[in-house]
Amino acid sequence: MDAVLTREEAPARHGDVRLRKLEVCLRSITALADDINAFEFVSADGQPLPGFTAGSHIDVHLSGRMVRQYSLCNSPIERDRYVVAVLRDRQGRGGSMAMHDELRAGQKLKISRPRNHFALSTSARRHVFIAGGIGITPIVAMISEVQRRGESFHLYYCARSAQRAAFLDELQPLVERGDVSVHFDQGDPRNGLDLVSTLKEYLPGTHLYYCGPGRLMDAIEAASAHWPPAARHCERFSAGAATRSRPNDIPDGDGDEDAPFDVELRRSHKTFTVHPGESIVDVLRSHGVDVDTSCREGYCGTCMTRYLAGEPLHRDTVLDDEDREAFVMICCSRAKSQTLVLDI
């Protein structure tokens, strides 16, 4: 009987590089603001890193099997490094604390290839960005790209204070040019950006991108509800609000959520039944099958798995229609068919 392949081995055999992990070296750690550090990764073997597009993120594999997603904040034209900026979140699930407290320059780590669920529109006539706090990280890469393309944009950058806002120095020339406005609320949202008036007028051809804490995201979502869904793009730190701003964020609507189904692992010749209330991940782990997860709510992409037959009941909020032809998020999705065959 075949052994269950690890994620690193599997794509090599099946030709899908998107799931293959990369070994990188942490070249430097730089303080950007209070409790925010930048972590710069370079290839461990000296080869150029896979290219990425603005808005991409990577999974960082930390101690204790923690996997966390961080947006790339350097320019997408750079091929020799990936840079992420991480806020130390004492109330979080431990990933940011591990990044801040355990990582040291020179250390080797495993990361995923960059994935992008927050891409820039290629047809926009103007881009409007709203960043809240550490939500600036994907947006600085996007700003770099729209500047390179010579496209029109404006960034509204909301933070508690200058001390807690990363990238202020880099953005200062754009502030002086009028392309960036910065809003410090000193911890009181009533002092913050007036979202209703900022988003009141929708000009055709304008695309809105936003990233930040859940309450800000929900407020932006409400204030831009009259904008076309295809013109709104967001990246959340959590599953968040009940409504979604991108067409691809709409989970499958049909299918019996609770129907049991079989999950067949084609390469390991095993079949298990997923009962109501269980996830595919739960069932695989209970039978000793090792799978990576992070959010377990269908928004991070860590558990993305190729399927070979059957019809998934997609419950994630990240895969687009094309990806859904080949991949399924096994932390949250189920199956419409009696059997779902996975490439594991």
Residues found near ligand FES in the complex (CB under 6 A): 293-296, 298-303, 316, 329, 331
- Cα 228 to chain centroid distance, Å, stands at 22
**Nearer CB in complex with ligand FES: 158/329:** 329
CB of 332 to ligand FES, least distance (A): 6
- Cα 225 to chain centroid distance, Å, stands at 22
**Nearer CB in complex with ligand FES: 16/297:** 297
Residue 104's region, left for phi above 0, alpha for psi from -120 to 50, else beta, is beta
CB of 6 to ligand FES, least distance (A): 17
Measured CA to CA in angstroms, residue 287 lies from 18, 90, 265, 278, 280 at distances of 26, 34, 12, 13, 11
Rounded Cα gap, residues 175 and 116, in angstroms: 27
CB atoms within 10 A of CB 202: 15
User: What is the three-class DSSP state of 2?
Assistant: coil
Q: Which residues, in sequence order, are CB contacts of 75 under 8 Å at separation 6+?
A: 141, 144, 145, 148
To which residue do tokens 């990764």 refer?
A: 41
CB of 319 to ligand FES, least distance (A): 9
**Nearer CB in complex with ligand FES: 153/327:** 327
- Terminal Cα distance for the chain, rounded: 13
**Nearer CB in complex with ligand FES: 52/299:** 299
**Nearer CB in complex with ligand FES: 207/236:** 236
**Nearer CB in complex with ligand FES: 118/299:** 299
Measured CA to CA in angstroms, residue 220 lies from 212, 227, 298 at distances of 10, 11, 22
Rounded Cα gap, residues 259 and 122, in angstroms: 40
**Nearer CB in complex with ligand FES: 151/297:** 297
**Nearer CB in complex with ligand FES: 224/317:** 317
Residue type, 322: E
CB of 187 to ligand FES, least distance (A): 30
Burial class (CB within 10 angstroms; exposed 0-12, middle 13-18, buried 19+) of 211: buried
Rounded Cα gap, residues 264 and 341, in angstroms: 5
**Nearer CB in complex with ligand FES: 96/302:** 302
CB of 57 to ligand FES, least distance (A): 11
Residue nearest to ligand FES (CB): 331
Q: Are strands 126-132 and 67-71 parallel, antiparallel or unpaired?
A: unpaired
CB of 341 to ligand FES, least distance (A): 19
Structure tokens at 98: 């591990």
CB of 292 to ligand FES, least distance (A): 8
CB of 251 to ligand FES, least distance (A): 12
- Cα 320 to chain centroid distance, Å, stands at 13
To which residue do tokens 């499958």 refer?
A: 252
CB of 302 to ligand FES, least distance (A): 4
CB 140 within 8 A of CB 167: yes
